[in-house]
Amino acid sequence: MIKVLAAIVAPPHLSVSGAGRAAEQLSFALARHCDITVASMMGAQTREAEAPGIRRAPVAVRLPPLLPWQRVPNRYRTLFYSSDIPDRIRSGDFDLVHLHNPMPALEMARIARACRSANVPYVVSTHGFNEIANGARIYGFGRLRRLVWQALVTRPVQQAVRGAAAVLGLSPADREIVGAMGFAGSFAVVPNGVSLPGPFDPSQDFAACARLGVPGRRAGEMTCMFLANHTPNKGLPVLLEAFDGLTCPYTLIVGGEKRAEIDYALAALTRRADQRIIVTGRLSDREVQALFRRSDLFVFPTLADTFPLVVLEAMSHGVPVLASRVGGIPHQLDPGSGQLVEAGDVRQLREALAALACRRDRLAKMGERARARVAQHFTWDNAAERALAEYERALDARATAPARTLLSALHTVH
């Protein structure tokens, strides 16, 4: 069997990461085909009982010494984390390394260099690449910060990508992004997958909603849900502004860890009795599932995203999606399962919400279509088969390279 190291690059202070979850789930599906070891800078995000056949390598994560890192905000500290994953590659017995997630970019580049030094081919999944390509625009960087972003983020990711044996794009939209990074090798689409939810206990759902302060349904209202880390690229201010101008009855559930840089004032405003916004904070998997089942519509006005796993998770629960037309999202949805709006357009988002609130029958049909689309196109088994094919292609190319070099040399001599 092919011996694979799945290296998940991520800042350890994150408690939840869509890219990390996707990397682990793909690794679990690949365990039926490969001898796979997961090395995550975040630690395990999924219980071992859910991952038969997986080995986990403990990962030591550190920051450069002699600096007062406790005074540095997480968004800056993120850039400088390093790990012992490169040491494991140099001393290990792996046929191939699969790199997941590009931040911290300097560490992604270090791991890629270790692979090249050890003559171990590596492939790269494009988690977060849309955000990397558009980061300077999203965050509104001035000239100096753009230069820093280029030096500490864009350039290291480009270096890692250019040396990859293959790039596994989460959607066709990523081909242009990696091409702009200078990659001219094998590109294959290997999208995220999702597992369809099984049976559930309504009493447990009721208890979870009660703990979170989410009341029962009221006649005539639309319940919407948002879930993400509250980083600037996720568009949470756009979401809150759009709901603040709605005239229809609604409940909006805002899930995910709160961030100091986000203004939650609009969520806290006193509003009509038939309108409410509930900010839950961090959620467990069970709570997320209960809230999906409580919701009529998943709203995701992200400003930049590559292929958000949470969109597929909503669809798997039979929840239609209203999201931004960015990255791979147009490849996740079709007109029957969701609706797209322009990123950052508050008015367009508000108008789409108001129109859908008047068509509850349409929402139900879209939800059925969303679940069927996920079951047909976005499973982890399908993703694993595609990834395995790229692994084998990369190793075949490596095996035949010396022969091609020899033939080329003989041809030159003659």
Q: What pTM value is reported for the model?
A: 0.87
Within this chain, do residues 181 and 217 fall inside the same structural domain, yes or no? Answer: no
Model confidence band, residue 4 (pLDDT cutoffs 50, 70, 90): very high
Within this chain, do residues 315 and 233 fall inside the same structural domain, yes or no? Answer: yes
Give the model's pLDDT for residue 51: 60
The predicted model gives 2-26 an average pLDDT of: 90
Give the model's pLDDT for residue 137: 83
Q: What is the rounded end-to-end Cα distance, in angstroms, of the chain?
A: 40
Report if residue 348 sits inside a domain.
yes
Report if residue 94 sits inside a domain.
yes
Average pLDDT, the chain: 90
Q: What percentage of the chain exceeds 90 in pLDDT?
A: 73
**Are 298 and 222 in contact, with CB atoms under 8 Å apart?**
no
> Residue 202 contacts by C-beta under 8 Å, 6 or more apart in sequence?
none
Strand ranges for 30-147 from DSSP E: 35-40, 55-56, 61-62, 82-83, 96-100, 122-125
Within this chain, do residues 255 and 361 fall inside the same structural domain, yes or no? Answer: yes
Peptide bond just before 197 cis, omega within 30 deg: no
Give the model's pLDDT for residue 406: 45
The predicted model gives 194-208 an average pLDDT of: 93
The token pair that represents 133 in the structure block = 């390509």
User: Amino acid letter at 374?
Assistant: V
* Alpha carbon distance 178, 129 (integer Å): 8
Report if residue 413 sits inside a domain.
no
Q: What is the pLDDT of residues 142-187, one digit of tens each?
A: 889 899 999 999 999 999 999 999 999 999 999 999 999 999 999 9
Give the model's pLDDT for residue 174: 96
Give the model's pLDDT for residue 50: 53
**Are 321 and 298 in contact, with CB atoms under 8 Å apart?**
yes
Report if residue 414 sits inside a domain.
no
Environment class of 171 (CB within 10 Å of its CB; exposed 0-12, middle 13-18, buried 19+): buried
Report in angstroms the alpha-carbon separations of 126 from 171, 313, 384: 9, 19, 15
**Are 375 and 196 in contact, with CB atoms under 8 Å apart?**
yes
Report if residue 148 sits inside a domain.
yes
The token pair that represents 146 in the structure block = 């753009």
Report in angstroms the alpha-carbon separations of 256 from 203, 231, 267, 282, 406: 23, 10, 14, 5, 56
Within this chain, do residues 96 and 228 fall inside the same structural domain, yes or no? Answer: no
Report if residue 400 sits inside a domain.
yes
Instruction: For residue 133, give the CATH number of its domain.
Output: 3.40.50.2000
Model confidence band, residue 1 (pLDDT cutoffs 50, 70, 90): confident
Within this chain, do residues 20 and 54 fall inside the same structural domain, yes or no? Answer: yes
Within this chain, do residues 175 and 245 fall inside the same structural domain, yes or no? Answer: no
User: Amino acid letter at 201?
Assistant: D
Checking if the pLDDT of 232 tops 70, the result is: yes
**Are 187 and 208 in contact, with CB atoms under 8 Å apart?**
no
Residues of the domain holding 7: 3-193+379-408
Name the more confident of 48 and 339. 339
The token pair that represents 52 in the structure block = 């038969």
Give the model's pLDDT for residue 383: 95
* Alpha carbon distance 100, 21 (integer Å): 10
Instruction: Report residue 203: phi and psi, to 5°.
Output: -65, -35
Name the more confident of 402 and 215. 215
Q: What is the pLDDT of residues 92-141, one digit of tens each?
A: 789 999 999 999 999 999 999 999 999 999 999 999 999 899 888 877 78
SS3 for 313-378 is: HHHHCCCCEEEECCCCHHHHCCCCCEEEECCCCHHHHHHHHHHHHCCHHHHHHHHHHHHHHHHHHC
Give the model's pLDDT for residue 47: 46
Within this chain, do residues 119 and 33 fall inside the same structural domain, yes or no? Answer: yes
Domain count, the chain: 2
Beta bridge pairs of residue 299: 322
Residue 111's closest CA among 200, 23, 41? 41
Pairing of strands 275-281, 186-189: unpaired
Residue keyed to tokens 């999702």: 194
Within this chain, do residues 234 and 347 fall inside the same structural domain, yes or no? Answer: yes
The token pair that represents 307 in the structure block = 């292929």
Name the more confident of 196 and 407. 196
Model confidence band, residue 266 (pLDDT cutoffs 50, 70, 90): confident
Beta bridge pairs of residue 321: 298, 338
Within this chain, do residues 29 and 151 fall inside the same structural domain, yes or no? Answer: yes
> Residue 216 contacts by C-beta under 8 Å, 6 or more apart in sequence?
209
Checking if the pLDDT of 263 tops 90, the result is: no
Within this chain, do residues 168 and 28 fall inside the same structural domain, yes or no? Answer: yes
The predicted model gives 189-193 an average pLDDT of: 95
Q: Which residues of 279-298 are buried (b: 16+ CB within 10 A; e: fewer)?
A: bbeebeeebbbbbbbbbbbb
Give the model's pLDDT for residue 402: 55
**Are 383 and 192 in contact, with CB atoms under 8 Å apart?**
yes
Report if residue 68 sits inside a domain.
yes
Report if residue 138 sits inside a domain.
yes
Checking if the pLDDT of 376 tops 90, the result is: yes
Within this chain, do residues 62 and 73 fall inside the same structural domain, yes or no? Answer: yes
Give the model's pLDDT for residue 200: 93
Q: What is the DSSP letter of 82?
A: E
Within this chain, do residues 138 and 267 fall inside the same structural domain, yes or no? Answer: no
* Alpha carbon distance 290, 200 (integer Å): 9
* Alpha carbon distance 343, 331 (integer Å): 16
